């Protein structure tokens, strides 16, 4: 069907809605929305497979607006094509409680696939979308799984190193159903991209193994259509479409200027732009009826396409009932029953080694579980035995080689888990969590159940020295709202922590695992499962309670050793393993008080910074923590020199006991409540 005057009218409607909403809010980024309006309309009206009446349709195409600041482009498209996003919500752009926040937010606005704030994250997420589609299509070759991922990215996205990592991996794998469309307007906040960005971007993407296409004018709808059709025709390479656009197209004095990037245009400039479009200059939030009718046609076509797909899925269900039921279970995020019965026996081992055993024990019951590492599988122990690796053109494997690309790995995991049908995990050393942080934060913000396996968790790393010995990472991860941080003390706790991670559907989990071997806790697995689910529990009780030692991970065994020595001296000591502050914090106050009763002094032991521990030890407690960096030496030597020994815990405990007896055994408890 050829383009017509209604297409032109719809494009100008998008531009005017963007200008009006941003002007009314006195805040926003009009330029990109105005420049990309013809690209967005061409994609949404002709090539994107979507059904506005059912935005969660499993086989829909995914659309990613990586430059989330251009949100009014997406909101206008969603409104015009029939998504449940009213004109009133457009009027409330960037206001409290609206469905039109400044940057699109996943789970908040129908039709928004991702929260894309920091530039580059959406690009990398899209690789996860495409990889998830390719994997499921390969795993279920008879199922009607056949959708594409379309991405709008800008000059800023392409400057971010994260985007380079993701594009390199996508080209290596040959993700043929992925298309990035570059809004090449040559403007950033500070001015022309020529100030800092003069590389040959198209040559870079060719070197990554992408098909590279060019559209010289973003207003050339036929050229855009030809590029999109060429992208669909290419099946073995991702496609990069370089579209030359004009920021704030049509604005009389601000087109192609930095001032149009992140500020309202102003009333006079808007009137001038509308005059250039042949639009009523005084009209605001105008949507012509012809455009509304075209939007209804697009919505009807989308619904018909979705219904045809449901008919195909019904036929597939009749022919391969078990496979269809398995797909439905995965799309719903349901777990098989009795996973705890599959957990392996414990023993003395590093929790990273225990994690490998747990992972492989669960993998058979959870075919949706897949993942890999940033070139550290032998160290992080995250290989699924007996399963092939995903490789170029071969996507049915369960082991992922991310390469040394921690930044991209985290964002790709988020894309895979948002896509649905998979539970993807990624691994690296805990000290490199800093490279993952933007993706972890966004997983928490979106409520995405990504699993981050972070090993080599303390100064016991040893000879590699302070660059590889994490001290502040635990505290910094605990500071992220919505992230579940789990640091198990032995093999059984490791299994319980994996189960907690898998049960989560509303947020990410960080599993913090040791390099060195840890002795097993003398507890039944039922006690451990219950205790870990509460975040903190008693691993050694005392009949005449005088002191509480609490610890996480490898330091729990030190606390147990110290407790034995203190009991020889006549002091009853309760030892608490505290694998998760987050899980403990949501327990009922009475339950927390039973574990940490008033009047009993406490000591916390953790080979990391002290930040945050005062909440649990109270004003009168003590901290055996590490507010400095580590050192290069064998791990046991580093621990001894830095004071992580049972002997030090005993000495600190005796001093604290003497102090509390002298003070009449008064001890602050307010922090626990």
Catalytic center residues = 406
Q: Is 236 helix (H, G, I), strand (E, B) or coil?
A: coil
Alpha helices in 504-629 (DSSP H): 525-534, 555-568, 581-585, 589-595, 614-617
Are 38 and 75 contacting, i.e. CB atoms less than 8 angstroms apart? no
For 213, the 3-state DSSP assignment is: strand
| Helices 267-277 & 5-25 angle (0-180, nearest 10) | 180
Rounded-to-integer distance, Cα 390 and Cα 132, Å: 11
**Radius of gyration in angstroms for the set of CA atoms belonging to the chain, rounded to a whole number:** 28
Helix/strand/coil for 537: strand
Work out the angle between the directed axes of helices 289-319 and 321-332 (0-180°, nearest 10): 130
Cα distance between residue 274 and residue 271, in whole Å: 5
Q: Which two tokens stand for residue 395?
A: 């996507």
The C-alpha atoms of residue 445 and residue 439 are separated, in whole angstroms, by: 10
Helix axes 433-446 and 121-139, enclosed angle (nearest 10): 80
* Neighbour-count burial for 361-388, b at 16+ CB within 10 Å, e otherwise: bbbeebebbbbbbbbbbeebbbbbeebe
518 phi, psi to nearest 5 deg: -125, 140
* H helix intervals, 448-514: 473-478, 491-503
State whether residue 535 is helix, strand or coil.
coil
Contact 394, 372 (CB under 8 A): no
Rounded distance between C-alpha atoms, residue 211 and residue 145, angstroms: 23
Q: What is the DSSP letter of 173?
A: H
Closest C-alpha among 367, 299, 316, 15 to residue 145: 316
What distance in Å separates the CA atoms of residue 54 and residue 76, rounded to the nearest whole number?
A: 18
Residue 646 CA to chain centroid, in angstroms? 39
List the structure tokens of 463: 């000879």
Q: How far apart are CA 638 and CA 243, in angstroms?
A: 56
Q: How many Cβ atoms are within 10 Å of 1's Cβ, its own excluded?
A: 6
Residue 364 vs residues 134, 359, 398, 598, 659: alpha-carbon distances, Å? 21, 9, 11, 46, 55
Quick one: tokens of 388?
């092939």
SS3 72: helix
Task: Find out whether 592 and 649 touch, Cβ atoms under 8 Å.
Answer: no
What is the secondary structure of 291-350 as a DSSP string? Answer: HHHHHHHHHHHHHHHHHHHHHHHHHHHHHSHHHHHHHHHHHHTPPPS-GGGGPPP--SEE
Which tokens is 445 given?
């913000």
Q: What is the DSSP letter of 61?
A: P
Euclidean distance between CA atoms 200 and 207, whole angstroms: 11
CA 654 to each of CA 32, 370, 544, 606, 659: distance values in angstroms, whole numbers, following the listed order: 66, 48, 16, 19, 9
Alpha-carbon span 601 to 244, nearest angstrom = 67
């Amino acid at each position: 069907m050829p383009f017509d005057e209604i297409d032109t009218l719809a494009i100008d409607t998008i531009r005017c809605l963007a200008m009006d909403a941003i002007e009314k809010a006195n805040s926003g980024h009009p330029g990109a929305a105005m420049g990309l309006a013809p690209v967005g309309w061409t994609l949404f009206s002709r090539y994107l497979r979507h059904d506005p009446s059912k935005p969660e349709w499993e086989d829909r195409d995914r659309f990613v607006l990586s430059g989330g600041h251009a949100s009014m482009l997406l909101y206008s498209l969603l409104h015009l094509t029939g998504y449940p996003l009213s004109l009133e919500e457009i009027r409330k752009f960037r206001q409290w409680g609206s469905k039109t926040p400044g940057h699109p937010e996943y789970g908040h606005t129908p039709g928004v696939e991702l929260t894309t704030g920091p530039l580059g994250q959406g690009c990398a997420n899209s690789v996860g979308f495409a990889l998830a589609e390719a994997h499921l299509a390969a795993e279920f070759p008879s199922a009607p799984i056949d959708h594409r991922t379309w991405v709008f990215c800008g000059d800023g996205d392409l400057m971010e190193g994260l985007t380079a990592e993701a594009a390199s991996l996508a080209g290596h794998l040959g993700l043929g159903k992925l298309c990035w469309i570059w809004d090449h307007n040559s403007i950033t906040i500070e001015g022309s991209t020529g100030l800092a960005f003069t590389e040959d971007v198209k040559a870079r993407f060719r070197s990554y193994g992408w098909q590279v296409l060019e559209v010289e004018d973003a207003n050339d709808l036929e050229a855009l259509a030809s590029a999109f059709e060429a992208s669909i025709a290419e099946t073995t390479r991702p496609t990069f479409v370089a579209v030359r656009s004009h920021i704030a197209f049509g604005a009389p004095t601000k087109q192609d200027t930095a001032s149009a990037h992140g500020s309202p245009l102003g009333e006079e400039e808007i009137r001038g732009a509308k005059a250039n479009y042949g639009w009523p200059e005084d009209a605001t939030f105008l949507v012509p009826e012809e455009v509304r009718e075209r939007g209804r046609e697009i919505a009807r076509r989308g619904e018909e396409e979705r219904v045809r797909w449901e008919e195909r899925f019904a036929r597939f269900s009749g022919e391969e009932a078990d496979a269809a039921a398995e797909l439905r279970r995965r799309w719903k995020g349901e777990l098989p029953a009795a996973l705890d019965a599959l957990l392996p026996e414990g023993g003395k081992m590093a929790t990273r080694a225990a994690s490998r055993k747990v992972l492989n024990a669960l993998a058979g019951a959870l075919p949706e579980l897949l993942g890999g590492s940033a070139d550290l599988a032998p160290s992080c122990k995250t290989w699924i035995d007996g399963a092939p690796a995903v490789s170029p053109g071969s996507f049915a494997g369960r082991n992922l080689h991310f390469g040394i690309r921690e930044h991209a790995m985290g964002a790709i995991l988020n894309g895979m888990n948002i896509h649905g049908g998979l539970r993807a995990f990624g691994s690296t050393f805990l000290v490199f969590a800093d490279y993952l942080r933007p993706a972890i934060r966004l997983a928490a913000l979106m409520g995405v159940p990504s699993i981050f396996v972070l090993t080599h968790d303390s100064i016991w790393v040893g000879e590699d020295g302070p660059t590889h010995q994490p001290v502040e990472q635990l505290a910094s991860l605990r500071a992220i709202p919505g992230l579940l941080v789990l640091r198990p003390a032995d093999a059984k706790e490791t299994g319980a922590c994996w189960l907690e991670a898998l049960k989560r559907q509303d947020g990410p989990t960080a599993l913090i695992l040791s390099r060195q071997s840890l002795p097993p806790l003398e507890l039944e697995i039922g006690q451990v499962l219950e205790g870990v689910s509460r975040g903190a529990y008693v691993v050694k009780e005392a009949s005449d309670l005088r002191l509480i030692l609490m610890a996480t991970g490898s330091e729990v065994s030190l606390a147990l050793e110290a407790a034995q020595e203190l009991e020889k001296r006549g002091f009853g000591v309760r030892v608490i393993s505290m694998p998760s502050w987050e899980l403990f914090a949501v327990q009922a106050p009475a339950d927390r008080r039973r574990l940490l009763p008033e009047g009993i002094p406490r000591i916390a032991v953790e080979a990391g910074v002290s930040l945050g521990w005062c909440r649990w030890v109270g004003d009168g407690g003590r901290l055996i923590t590490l507010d400095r960096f580590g050192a290069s030496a064998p791990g046991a030597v580093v621990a001894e020199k830095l004071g992580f020994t049972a002997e030090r815990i005993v000495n600190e405990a005796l001093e604290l006991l003497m102090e509390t007896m002298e003070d009449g055994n008064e001890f602050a408890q307010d922090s626990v409540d």
